[in-house]
Structure 1
Amino acid sequence: MTMVVTEPCKGCKDKACLKVCPCECFYEDADMVYIHPDECIDCEACIPECPVEAIFYEDNVPTQWLHYIELNAKRSKECPPAQPK
């Protein structure tokens, strides 16, 4: 299982979640950040740090955002590593 960044992150990119991630598994494009599913260690540190409540366990992603599971897996492999603010 992995953490997944969803719709509320789009356009926000606060990046507070990056500062607490022990494995640096976030990647970003111009719109948002993504979590690499093979690098995430499921520590949950990012969840309380997200000011827009965009991060969920893969099994807990709301139905309307289920496509973000695949999107995180795809985009995290295509985008550069996210840099904290």
Structure 2
Amino acid sequence: MTYVVTENCIRCKFMDCVEVCPVDCFYAGENFLVINPDECIDCGVCEPECPAEAIFPDSDDRATPWAEINTKYAAVWPNITRKGTAPPDAEEWKDKPNKKELLSPEPQKD
């Protein structure tokens, strides 16, 4: 089992989860985070830290369509080990549905 970042993270990207991850398995895109399933140790500490409630175990049906997206982008986006600054409008996007089309394939720029 692994944990998966889902649609609720898009345009929110709070990054509280990154701070608690003991194995640094988060990767950052322009407006979304992903978890590398090969690095995740299934500890689950990230799940309750997410203000957007965007992280689920891969056994949860809500994670299923996002597992492949996490795997794909973890291979090309930069690894992130510290919490950064969330977008200024993150709170406005936090509970909005149907954000998948807003997912940027671009990596986070430092």
Q: TM-score, normalised by structure 2?
A: 0.72
Kindly report which structure 2 residues correspond to 1:2-81, keeping only aligned pairs within 5 A, or say none. Answer: 2-62=2-62, 66-81=64-79
Question: Unpaired segments of 5 or more residues in structure 1?
Answer: none
Question: Structure 2: which amino acid aligns with 1:44?
Answer: G
Secondary structure of 2:30's partner?
coil
Displacement of 1:84: 1.7
After superposing on structure 2, the runs of 4+ consecutive aligned residues of structure 1 that deviate more than 3 Å are: none
1:22-59: CA deviations, max 9, x gaps? 00000011020000000000000000000010000001
Q: TM-score, normalised by structure 1?
A: 0.92
Displacement of 1:67: 2.0
Question: Unpaired segments of 5 or more residues in structure 2?
Answer: 85-110
C-alpha distance in 2 between matches for 1:60 and 1:5: 12
C-alpha distance in 2 between matches for 1:66 and 1:44: 17
C-alpha distance in 1 between matches for 2:22 and 2:64: 25
Secondary structure of 2:27's partner?
strand
Displacement of 1:61: 3.6
Secondary structure of 1:78's partner?
coil
Structure with larger Rg: 2
C-alpha distance in 2 between matches for 1:50 and 1:61: 18
C-alpha distance in 1 between matches for 2:2 and 2:42: 6
1:50-78: CA deviations, max 9, x gaps? 0010000001142xx53211000110011
Instruction: Give % identity.
Output: 45
Question: Structure 2: which amino acid aligns with 1:38?
Answer: D
Q: Please give the root-mean-square deviation of Cα atoms over the aligned residues, in Å.
A: 1.1
Structure having the higher helix fraction is 1
